[in-house]
């Protein structure tokens, strides 16, 4: 009897030990919805939206290390669809992902808006890639560098709001 219960105990322990290993393989990633529009259609939707883009009110926010970030939201029909980051000292447009540790703001909001307004006609649309939720991510390029990206719904081709940028506009864009 002891041999059978020991065998059951060993079996139960081996099953329990194998469960976390199985769970680690999955990593909790959800399946994405297959888009019905193509990357070219997503790119065309962003290209068509470019002339309709307007700028929201520039705002600043403070980073974790006390650094100042200067951003200008890009609007499409009263929705925030992207943002452009600028150097707070010079007002130059920053490449997406470029980090600066600037402690002082030398550019007025009007200068920031004027700098981004000047580049709007020169924006180009890059190649789309598929996002995590089945939406297309389409980069906007200025002088060959990605400065922001727009999201396109994978099913109907509409331009999606940028929720993180919208939240920042609500919190910091007084």
pLDDT in tens, 68-96: 999 999 999 999 999 999 999 999 999 99
Per-residue pLDDT at 24? 46
120-150 pLDDT per residue, tens: 999 999 999 999 889 999 999 999 999 999 9
CA–CA distance, 66 with 88 (Å, rounded to integer): 13
Q: Does 1 fall in a domain?
A: no
Per-residue pLDDT at 28? 56
Tally of domains within the chain: 1
Q: Does 81 fall in a domain?
A: yes
Model-level pTM? Answer: 0.78
Q: Does 21 fall in a domain?
A: no
Q: Does 30 fall in a domain?
A: no
Q: Does 4 fall in a domain?
A: no
Q: Comparing C-alpha atoms, which of 164, 12, 99 is closest to residue 172? A: 164
CA–CA distance, 154 with 136 (Å, rounded to integer): 6
CA–CA distance, 84 with 31 (Å, rounded to integer): 31
What is the arithmetic mean of pLDDT over 145-170? 95
Q: Does 154 fall in a domain?
A: yes
Q: Does 24 fall in a domain?
A: no
Residue 88 domain boundaries: 39-172
Q: Does 61 fall in a domain?
A: yes
């Amino acid at each position: 009897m002891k041999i059978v219960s020991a065998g059951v105990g060993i079996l139960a322990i081996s099953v329990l030990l194998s469960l976390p290993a199985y769970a680690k393989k999955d990593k909790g990633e959800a399946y994405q919805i297959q888009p019905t529009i193509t990357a070219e259609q997503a790119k065309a939707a962003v290209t068509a939206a470019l002339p309709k883009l307007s700028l929201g009110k520039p705002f600043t926010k403070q980073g974790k290390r006390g650094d100042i970030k200067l951003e200008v939201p890009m609007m499409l029909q009263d929705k925030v669809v992207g943002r452009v980051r600028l150097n707070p000292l010079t007002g130059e447009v920053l490449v997406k992902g470029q980090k600066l540790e600037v402690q002082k703001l030398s550019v007025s909001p009007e200068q920031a808006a004027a700098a981004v307004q000047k580049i709007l006609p020169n924006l180009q649309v890059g190649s789309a890639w598929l996002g995590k939720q089945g939406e297309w991510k389409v980069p906007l390029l200025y002088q060959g560098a990605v400065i922001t990206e727009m999201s396109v719904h994978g099913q109907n081709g509409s331009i999606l709001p940028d929720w993180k940028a919208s939240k920042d506009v609500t919190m910091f864009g007084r």
